[in-house]
Amino acid sequence: MIVNRAFADRFFPGENALGKRIEPGASSDASGTKMREIVGVVGNARQSALKMEEEPIYYLPYHQLPWCCPSIVVRSAVAPSSLEPALRGTVASLDKQLPIYDLRTADDMLARGVAGPRFQMLLLGSFAGIALLLTAIGLYGVLASSVVTRTREMGVRMALGATRHQVLAIVLRRAMRLLLLGISIGVAGAFAGNRLLSTMIYGVAPHNPLLVAAACVVLTMTAAAAAYLPARRAASIDPIRALRAE
């Protein structure tokens, strides 16, 4: 029999599993249950889903434990589409009554296996994009309203000698305060939902520092773009007109 690495590590920790003899359990072959020798150790493989944990598995020779619906793996350097006639012809030459169905390439099987998680990520990505757009619109609205309500203040500051860059900095500081508040709440929520996200993401830790940093950079760029027009409008205020308007 052949076992995978998880099997060897669990049942023979710190030992060489090759040559060990075990009794794997009930068997459907004619000889019944019997001792079997481990002749090879292979790497771990996820049998049905990417999110499944790597579990101990052993493999028995087909002639010792036949299966009613076997799968045959064919490896070739030619295009998979050109193999089907040859495969059917080879099987027909052995037994014309043997049915062949569900011919698939490895890429097709992989695509089918990740179709569900891929759809979930596409859906979540769409929601995230909409949320990012709403964030930009909301931040723009808050800053634009702030500039309108503080027009007189901006005019007074500029009349007293404040430069356009200083007025610009006032608006940007308010935007950064809102941004930091939003990022703090978002990061806390991401870590709180870590367990839920870990069931939907394969190969990437939800609390990965690079992911958190990338999200913060995207939010910062979005906030800067949303704050640009209100800040520019505040910096271009004519102090005389602002004071007269009030």
Higher pLDDT, 239 or 33: 239
Average of pLDDT values for 203-208? Answer: 64
**The pLDDT of residue 100 is above 50:** yes
- 99 shares its domain with 221: no
**The pLDDT of residue 41 is above 70:** yes
- 53 shares its domain with 141: no
Winning range, highest mean pLDDT, from 9-18, 54-63, 100-109, 136-145:
9-18
**The pLDDT of residue 28 is above 50:** no
The pLDDT, as a whole number, for residue 8 is 92
**The pLDDT of residue 229 is above 60:** yes
- 145 shares its domain with 127: yes
In a domain, 109, yes or no: no
Higher pLDDT, 28 or 202: 202
- 233 shares its domain with 125: yes
- 124 shares its domain with 232: yes
**The pLDDT of residue 199 is above 80:** no
Which range, of 20-24, 177-181, 202-206, averages the lowest pLDDT? 202-206
The pLDDT, as a whole number, for residue 138 is 87
Higher pLDDT, 40 or 154: 40
Domain that holds residue 17: 1-69
Q: How many residues does the chain have?
A: 246
- 5 shares its domain with 63: yes
Alpha carbon distance 153, 172 (integer Å): 16
**The pLDDT of residue 32 is above 60:** no
What residues are paired with 2 via a beta bridge? 40, 59
**The pLDDT of residue 52 is above 80:** no
The pLDDT, as a whole number, for residue 42 is 92
Backbone dihedral region of 81: left (phi > 0), alpha (psi from -120 to 50 degrees) or beta? alpha
Give residue 127's pLDDT band: very low, low, confident or very high (50, 70, 90): very high
Please identify which residue in the block is written with the tokens 């356009």: 164
Residue-averaged pLDDT of the chain = 81
Helices (H), the chain: 5-11, 84-94, 106-113, 115-149, 151-159, 164-192, 194-198, 209-235, 239-245
The pLDDT, as a whole number, for residue 39 is 92
Residue 207 CA: distances (Å) to CA of 40, 53, 105, 220: 37, 19, 35, 19
Winning range, highest mean pLDDT, from 28-42, 43-57, 60-74, 168-182:
168-182
Please identify which residue in the block is written with the tokens 């003899």: 21
Give residue 246's pLDDT band: very low, low, confident or very high (50, 70, 90): low
Helix, strand or coil, per DSSP, at residue 89: helix
- 119 shares its domain with 88: no
Number of structural domains (the chain) is: 3
The pLDDT, as a whole number, for residue 36 is 85
- 132 shares its domain with 188: yes
- 217 shares its domain with 155: yes
- pTM for this one? 0.59
- 122 shares its domain with 212: yes
- 137 shares its domain with 193: yes
**The pLDDT of residue 66 is above 90:** no
Average of pLDDT values for 124-153? Answer: 85
- 82 shares its domain with 140: no
Given a contact cutoff of 8 angstroms between Cβ atoms, the answer to whether 19 and 76 are in contact is no
